Chain A
Amino acid sequence: MVHETTASLEDCSAGTIETLLEEMIRIRAFDEAALDQFRDGDVPGFLHLCHGHEASHAGMGTAMEPDDWLAVGGSRLHGQYLVKGVPMREAMAEIYGKATGSNHGKGGSMHLADHERHLYGHAATIGSGQNPAAGLALAQQMRETGNVVVSTIGDGGTSRGSFHTALVFAATWNLPVVYVIENNGFAISYDAGNLPADELSAYGEPLGIPTASVDGMDPVAIHEAVSAAVERARSGGGPTVIESRVVRMRGHFEGDKQQYREDPDAAAGEAHDPLASFRDRLQDRGYLTDAEYEARYADAESTAADAVAYARESEFPEPATAYEDVYVRPLYGQEGTDGGEER
């Protein structure tokens, strides 16, 4: 059983450090742009932002190969989509419900899916994506693809029976799947501190699943932990449960007044900001100057602004497309398309 990793920048390749920083910046810039647009009233529905989860998302995403599957969960998802390679334009357009979105407006921010990039759309009933993740892993095992599945969930979702069932199936069948619990301390308002387990990864222990609980504010730590788990899964060593301890810097959704928090502003401050702390570490070690950081951030802001412009200018889906994709037509054995849409 692993409980802590000792992640150090010195053990990390320059390329990995570079990618981790780049992904964290992209995620922050994307979410800041989405927030600006939401405040202007342009984004339909709820908006759940990743602030505080950037290191966790970047760390797990960079631990995967492009053909590995990511079955996203929890409520903080944009960063997971981006780190799996979904272009900002497609992601932003889907959040806007536009036809150019990855799901043509049928999914929205909670269901963004990208089959080609092996991104499984979120189940959106929290905790319901973990059994499909086990099934995706079974498909990799039976088809001998060599690919691994990483599945994410929040602290709240771990109270659902479906989560525990998934662990039972994964352990029983020795499936190549890594369950990452992003524990940000709150299930909307419910304090994860009330849960009896000190480390939520402990839920894997009675099943004999290797576990780790790591500082998810440190991208190197989460990268190393998920990399080790992915490697074990790929070599036939079965599932892993990892707790990634993060901070939710904002409310559950935009507009959440956070009365359940003693000091919401403290959580939103630089002291809890994984991007600021990684930047500072890199600057302290001489990997990065302030000017370089600013230039990188400006680049990402510009890409995010382009994605916003693309999403805003894109058309909404034709209303008639609401009736497409309900069934794959024709049904087996029928002749013709029976008036339905083929896909």
Chain B
Amino acid sequence: MTELSVSEALRAALDEELARDERVYVAGEDVGSFGGNFGETRSLQEKYGETRVRDTPLSEVGIAGHALGAAVGGLRPVAELQFADFAATAGDEMINQIPKMGYISGGQFSVPLTVLAPSGAGIRSGAQHSQSVHAWMGSQPGFVVVTLTTPYDAKGLLKSAIRDDNPVFVLPHKNLMGKRGEVPDEEYTLPLGEAAVEREGDDVTVVATQQLFYRAIEAAERLAGEIDVEVVNPRTFAPLDTETIRASVRKTGRLVAVDETPLRYGTQSHIVSEVTTNDFFSLDAPPQTVGVADTPIPFSPPLEDEVIPGTDGIVDAIRDTF
């Protein structure tokens, strides 16, 4: 085991996949000598050259759109958007084109591309650089949408995304790029579409990823001895592994869905709906949801901190299920 940061784990995954498969290439703004906004592509261009690690002109439309054609044409692009918010500036490509081309071709085309884009709030970057987009991108059937939480996740899931034959949208969190954790020294991948039970507990299930995962763990530790909290990390939000979540709720009888997407039409509602529809009689109390208030993400630190759920809010929500 080696301790790596999330951005180091991403770089290790890219490095290994570039070495493993010559069809893989990385394209995006500043991915070359600049090394990526968070250092995630540092030194890769030196190692693999300008063809395999290619700086692009400044256009998300071009980055996402060309990657679609390249994937149909037999390559495995890793298209980097500097911020996940920019999925909207490439909205036609990200929503109308990429997730639908395999389907409308009647299964003739496969689109094995990865879009890598840091998401989430907390680095004081304002409303257009702080969004969690996995709810609105997750509602596009055809896209696999993955959130990264630990350095272990980051490396294993990015490697799987690159190897998968679907378009995969991979979302590390901006505020976790420096987060460090143990990563195996030997080669490994993590399955897409499968949630992980990260902390076992008997009394209540909390579903959380990215920075709110760590706050959920803090909440669980704060309640230890009083309430035994199980924490599930969905890893893949679309398609969502509802079975693992439902199995946990069948065990605990209680559910708190925590996510950094806005509460209105957010992922929290979908998770709760899956459980109440299918396992209503397993529930001992109404499920609770924790998310961003229905506002854009504000810039000023106290305002931003106000709208992003904190550990206290998760503790309160857990208590509300009793």
Chain B residues within CB distance 8 Å of chain A:
23, 25, 51, 54, 56-57, 59, 61-62, 64-75, 77, 92-93, 96-97, 101-110, 141-142, 144, 160-161, 163-166, 189-194, 236, 239
Is A9 on the interface with B (CB-CB < 8 A)?
A: no
| Contact of B69 with A134 in the complex, beta carbons under 8 Å | yes
CA distance A343 to B160 in the complex (A): 19
CB distance from B132 to the nearest CB of A (A): 22
| Contact status of A326 and B92, CB under 8 A, knowing A104-B106, A139-B69 | no
Chain A residues within CB distance 8 Å of chain B:
69, 71, 101-107, 111, 113-116, 120-121, 123-125, 128, 130-140, 142-143, 149, 161-162, 165-166, 168-169, 172-173, 324-328, 330-334, 338, 343
| Contact of B189 with A333 in the complex, beta carbons under 8 Å | yes
CA distance A343 to B165 in the complex (A): 10
| Contact of A328 with B93 in the complex, beta carbons under 8 Å | no
| Contact of B69 with A138 in the complex, beta carbons under 8 Å | yes
CB distance from B14 to the nearest CB of A (A): 16
| Contact status of A139 and B97, CB under 8 A, knowing A113-B105, A115-B108 | no
| Contact of B75 with A334 in the complex, beta carbons under 8 Å | no
Q: List 5 A-B contacts (CB under 8 A).
A: A69-B73, A113-B105, A128-B65, A133-B69, A172-B57
**The residue from B25, B65, B68 contacting A165, defined by CB atoms under 8 A apart:** B65
* A residues in contact with B164, CB < 8 Å: 328, 331-332
* B residues in contact with A128, CB < 8 Å: 65, 92-93, 96-97
Pairs A-B, 4 closest by C-beta atoms: A131-B65, A135-B69, A139-B73, A333-B191
| Contact of A328 with B191 in the complex, beta carbons under 8 Å | no
User: Which of B54, B57, B69, B108 has the largest count of A CB atoms less than 10 A from its CB?
Assistant: B69
CA distance A106 to B142 in the complex (A): 14
Name 20 extra pairs, CB < 8 A, besides A115-B72, A132-B97, A169-B57. A106-B105, A107-B104, A113-B104, A115-B109, A120-B72, A125-B97, A131-B61, A131-B64, A131-B68, A136-B73, A139-B69, A142-B75, A166-B66, A172-B57, A325-B105, A325-B107, A328-B164, A332-B163, A332-B164, A333-B194
| Contact of B189 with A161 in the complex, beta carbons under 8 Å | no
* B residues in contact with A326, CB < 8 Å: 102-103, 141-142
| Contact of B191 with A331 in the complex, beta carbons under 8 Å | yes
CA distance A74 to B41 in the complex (A): 38
* B residues in contact with A135, CB < 8 Å: 65-73, 77
**The residue from B59, B69, B102 contacting A136, defined by CB atoms under 8 A apart:** B69
* A residues in contact with B166, CB < 8 Å: 327-328, 331
CA distance A334 to B192 in the complex (A): 7
| Contact of A140 with B73 in the complex, beta carbons under 8 Å | yes
CA distance A343 to B105 in the complex (A): 12
B65 to chain A: closest residue by CB: A131
| Contact of A111 with B104 in the complex, beta carbons under 8 Å | yes
CA distance A87 to B126 in the complex (A): 54
* A residues in contact with B75, CB < 8 Å: 138-139, 142-143
| Contact status of A132 and B105, CB under 8 A, knowing A162-B92, A328-B166, A334-B194 | no
CB distance from A109 to the nearest CB of B (A): 12
| Contact of A328 with B110 in the complex, beta carbons under 8 Å | yes
